[in-house]
Chain A
């Protein structure tokens, strides 16, 4: 099955949902015009990244009653979308969230599991952490979604893989850092290495959309990409600049790769479960 993916490597405007929604709808129309089936936005694409005390003001509930969400659901009748937003649950807890929208419905909401709160990051101050890593079915197969720091830890991607996800959708707002002699920033190299690792070790497609632009002095490096089940880059967007990347992929590559390399077949989650149980039990003593 062939799937045409669009990566909206955009510059969300901090705190301006109306502006960003408009941008989402414009990009969705462009992606549709270019024949895309799925459009992936970066982390917190509706709000900007360092929202800080704006969180309660920008948070929305993921239902059709919300005008912003309603407009996105409408747009999803033309193209499937993964969007980033601040999600408020029924009890006023706020999450960095990703929603998968398809044919006017919200198929899944993922809450960011790992909130970086170190160095330049301060997410734990503003957001609650998610509690679930769940794959979900789409019209293109079973997918899993993760947000930025989630895929700096290997367990969430592993769980999604074991939950049946053959395609991993990653969104991020990754600040560029580590300028050294190389033509790629140090942390950018790290992310690309990790994405290639997920592709090859899970024999999955890895689709990653990273934002661009600046917030205060921080830059965001873009370089949105797709890694195939062999761990190779199928496409990679410009670094630092806005870019709507359109790329067709062949999901049958997954089957062909797994026929050659049965890493999924041979994986032993029971062993992981058993040994992890022992390790946790022992540590609990």
Chain B
């Protein structure tokens, strides 16, 4: 594989400035002062926590840890490093009783179904804390997983704002490093932590470094698939990635509304989300 990863380099100061301003702006427009986020122990939610604390003050960012019984202790420990480093208010709300109430009804339930249930229960928990704490629910998705659809619709994608969803995984790493998030989180293999030994890269079948480059060329640089192959990437890999992006587009858009009237929400009733902002 070629190495074009340097083309994804970002100026982390500028990125941080824009994102923290965005978080402040969105929280203020929602009429709030605080944020809520689920802290998994991974790099994405850690970065989201650091940026939120930077934007709003650590005391205004509630971190919620929501382990399931199969979650690794190491994840909780890594999340604790972030909590301690920033001095964040924290609440632990294990989702096991909620999840098992459904999971136990179906003894043959697949890991996919279980994972989706967990992701959606975490969304439910965060939105409940959003009201209790008076904070906006921060997204923790990055551009790579959002494009690949490596997420659960109405689960981890069910958030109020997406501060880091225009950063590829490699760029998340750059910004996380610049913001000095705890080293163990920078070093470990990304994982959804749904079962023991699971890793994103194992499940996806390719590495973030490779897929980041392909996505960057296609999406940001507008290369055709043919041109990406000419850069030296494996054709089957490139096609597989793009197929996956297309197949998961429904996760990135609002549900289609069947148009009947002359003015229909989503079609020709067009206002910014911010137009209701304070």
Interface residues of A (CB under 8 A from B): 14-15, 50, 52-54, 176, 179-185, 213-217, 219, 239-240
Give complex CA distance A244, B274 in Å.
25
CB of B150 closer than 8 Å to a CB of A: no
Interface residues of B, CB < 8 Å — how many?
22
A52's partner among B15, B162, B272, B277 (CB-CB below 8 A) is B272
In the bound complex, CA of A184 to CA of B14 (Å):
8
Chain B: minimal CB distance from A14 (Å):
6
Given contacts A14-B277, A180-B9, A181-B9, contact A216 B272 (CB under 8 A): yes
B18 beta carbon closer than 8 Å to chain A? yes
A179 and B271 within 8 A (CB)? no
Interface check B25, CB cutoff 8 A: yes
CB atoms of B271 and A216 under 8 A apart: no
Give the top 8 A-B pairs by smallest Cβ distance, nearest first.
A181-B9, A214-B25, A52-B270, A53-B270, A216-B272, A219-B18, A179-B10, A216-B274
Residues from chain B with a CB closer than 8 A to the CB of A213 are 25
Residue B188, interface by CB 8 Å: no
Contacts of A185 in B (CB 8 A): 14
Asked if B11 and A219 sit within 8 Å, CB to CB, the answer is no
Cα distance A34–B223 when bound, in Å?
51
With A and B bound together, what is the CA distance between A129 and B11 in angstroms? 37
Q: Which listed residue (B14, B25, B162, B277) contacts A179, Cβ 8 A?
A: B14
Interface of chain B residues 21 through 35 with chain A (CB within 8 A): 21-22, 25-26
B269 on the interface (CB 8 Å rule)? yes
Q: Which of B17, B166, B273, B275 contacts A240 (CB 8 A)?
A: B17
Shortest C-beta distance, A128 to chain B (Å), equals 17
Whether A219 pairs with B270 at a CB distance below 8 angstroms is no
Q: Kindly list chain A residues whose C-beta atoms are within 8 Å of the C-beta of B270.
A: 52-53
Least Cβ distance of A181 to chain B in Å? 4
Contact partner, A180, options B11, B18, B26, B273, Cβ 8 Å: B11
Please judge, given known A-B contacts A213-B25, A214-B25, whether A179 and B272 are in contact too, CB under 8 Å: no
Evaluate contact between B25 and A180: CB separation under 8 angstroms: no
**Contact A53 B11, beta carbon cutoff 8 Å:** no
Q: Are B22 and A54 touching (Cβ within 8 A)? A: no
Cβ of B196 within 8 Å of any chain A Cβ, yes or no, is: no
User: 7 A-B Cβ contacts within 8 A?
Assistant: A14-B274, A15-B275, A179-B15, A182-B11, A184-B14, A214-B26, A216-B274
Using Cβ atoms and an 8 Å threshold, which residues of chain B touch A219?
Answer: 18, 21-22
Q: Does B13 contact A (CB under 8 A)?
A: yes
Given contacts A53-B270, A179-B11, A183-B14, 12 further A-B contacts (CB under 8 A): A15-B275, A52-B272, A53-B271, A179-B10, A179-B15, A179-B18, A180-B9, A180-B11, A214-B26, A216-B273, A219-B22, A239-B17
- In whole angstroms, how far apart are the Cα atoms of A120 and B269 in the complex? 18
Residues of A within 8 A of B166 (CB): 217
When chains A and B are docked, how far (Å) is the Cα of A216 from the Cα of B30? 12
Residue of B nearest to A219 (CB): B18
Q: Which residues of B have CB within 8 Å of A184?
A: 14
| Closest beta carbon of chain B to A78's beta carbon, Å | 31
- Chain A residues within an 8 Å CB radius of B15: 179
A22–B73 alpha-carbon span in the complex (Å) = 55
Q: Could you say which residues of chain A place their CB within 8 Å of the CB of B269? A: 53
Is A214 a contact of B21 with CB atoms below 8 Å?
yes
Name the residue on A nearest B10 (C-beta). A179
B278 vs chain A, min Cβ distance (A): 9
Q: Are A50 and B14 in contact (CB under 8 A)?
A: no
In the assembled complex, the Cα of A182 lies from the Cα of B14 at a distance in Å of 9
Contacting residues of chain B (224-278) with chain A, CB-CB under 8 angstroms: 269-275, 277
